[in-house]
Amino acid sequence: MRDFPRFRAPRAWPRSCIGALGPMTFQLFRKAAIDHQAGEHLDGDVLRVQTRWTKWSLRLIGIAAVVALVFVIVFDVTEYAEGAAIVRVEGRRPMLTMVGGIVEAVHVQPGQHVEKDQWLATVSAPLEEAEYRRANTEFRLSLAALLRDPSDHTAKATLASLKPKRDSSAQIANARFIRAPHAGIVTDVRVRPGQYLTPNEVVCGIAPEGAEVSLIGLMPGEYRPMLRAGQPLRFSLSGYKFEYRNVEVESVGEEVVGPTEMRRYLGQEVGDAIALPGPTVLVKARLPSHTFTTEGQTFSYAEGLTGLASVRVRKEPILVVLIPALKAIRPRH
């Protein structure tokens, strides 16, 4: 194809030419642009770029890169195994009611010292008492008949069969009086007067004086290979702000068990109060004291208090976390 020469407009259009364009000029160009083009104007100066701020920006970027590199090399990322924790009083014995009935009276309070065989609570057992009175009456009648005629073999046989029955009913009737099996401290009271109890319900708990307080942690099962005795454990008590205890792991369970088995181990007292999302492993530690202080007040640890336990299981430099391939050349301790 033939190349046509390009049309090059003059630097400034003469006013006569602009006027000759007529009304069409105002349709294509703004009046301000036409006036500026027709007027006298000088060439612009060379663009001058200030490089001072550019140099400082590059320096700051370099310093930030060095600091970031040092940070990812020197500092570590720590991984924790976290789970629910329960306070346990060593040697605590739950006192159960052997018979069903209504609680007539509670004779002790939490923290009270009790002696052996001291009454803790009384439960009404009308059926058991009526059975005992009937068996005792029959025994007395048979005994009276034997005393009137010592040679009456029928009375002897009847008396021999009634004595075990009377003794058994007497033990059942006396079971409504819940007594302390040994001297100690009442850790908690679970019943109130007027409450109806079924057999084998917990009435209260008794622990020896000076019993140690331990901590049972329920850690996720996947952390079992990383857990071992001697690791630092941090315990935060629920309901008390800034109440922390730093202790050491005393023992770790050998098996990972499911929620049902773990609740059976914890017992009916606290098993339902803990949410177990999956398989767990037991971690045991010992608290340094029987009491804790918060906001200027001192309180005693009670059986069944819950909180959160965390154990540090892994620590790696940030650079290794960002580049996992470096684990192959990183020395193992």
**Do residue 184 and residue 227 come from a single domain?**
no
| Residue owning tokens 């014995």 | 93
308 belongs to a structural domain: yes
> Hey, what's the torsion of the CAs at 7, 11, 17, 21, to 10 degrees?
60
Tell me the C-alpha distance between 81 and 248, whole Å.
14
> What was the pLDDT predicted at 275?
77
**Angle 202-261-191 from CA coordinates, rounded to 5°:** 10
Question: Parallel, antiparallel, or unpaired: how do β-strands 196-197 and 202-207 relate?
Answer: unpaired
Helix, coil or strand: residue 148: helix
Report how many helices (DSSP H) and strands (DSSP E) the chain contains, helices first. 8, 16
> What was the pLDDT predicted at 289?
84
**Do residue 83 and residue 224 come from a single domain?**
yes
Tell me the C-alpha distance between 31 and 37, whole Å.
10
296 belongs to a structural domain: yes
**Do residue 153 and residue 217 come from a single domain?**
no
CATH label of the domain that carries residue 312: 2.40.30.170
184 belongs to a structural domain: yes
Give the chain's length.
333
For residue 319, the tally of other CB atoms under 10 A from its CB is 17
**Do residue 156 and residue 257 come from a single domain?**
no
Residue stretches of the chain with pLDDT short of 50: 1-9, 13, 18, 21-26
| Residue 159 structural domain | 126-172
* Helix intervals (H) in the chain: 15-20, 24-28, 31-38, 52-74, 126-148, 153-174, 259-266, 318-322
221 belongs to a structural domain: yes
> What was the pLDDT predicted at 26?
42
> What was the pLDDT predicted at 27?
52
Tell me the C-alpha distance between 189 and 206, whole Å.
9
CA atoms within 13 A on the CB side of 237: 22
Residue 27 Cα distances to 22, 31, 209, angstroms: 10, 9, 105
For residue 281, the tally of other CB atoms under 10 A from its CB is 23
| Residue owning tokens 């083009």 | 37
The answer to pTM > 0.75 is: no
Question: Parallel, antiparallel, or unpaired: how do β-strands 101-106 and 213-220 relate?
Answer: unpaired
Closest C-alpha to 206, from 293, 270, 121, 291: 121
326 belongs to a structural domain: no
Tell me the C-alpha distance between 291 and 246, whole Å.
14
The domain boundary, picked from 172, 187, 202, lies at: 172
8 Å CB contact between 95 and 207: no
Structure tokens at 93: 């014995």
Tell me the C-alpha distance between 245 and 247, whole Å.
6
**Do residue 133 and residue 102 come from a single domain?**
no
CATH label of the domain that carries residue 99: 2.40.50.100
**Do residue 84 and residue 97 come from a single domain?**
no
Structure tokens at 51: 């490089």
Closest C-alpha to 216, from 287, 276, 301, 264: 287
240 belongs to a structural domain: yes
**Do residue 144 and residue 184 come from a single domain?**
no
8 Å CB contact between 185 and 113: yes
101 belongs to a structural domain: yes
**Do residue 199 and residue 145 come from a single domain?**
no
**Do residue 132 and residue 241 come from a single domain?**
no
**Do residue 179 and residue 241 come from a single domain?**
no
Structure tokens at 238: 């629920």
What are the DSSP calls for 270-283, one per residue?
TGGGS---S-EEEE
> What was the pLDDT predicted at 173?
67
Residues 6 or more apart whose Cβ sits within 8 Å of residue 136 = 166, 169, 170
2 belongs to a structural domain: no
**Do residue 268 and residue 278 come from a single domain?**
yes
Say how many domains are in the chain: 3
**Do residue 112 and residue 199 come from a single domain?**
yes
DSSP type of residue 257? B
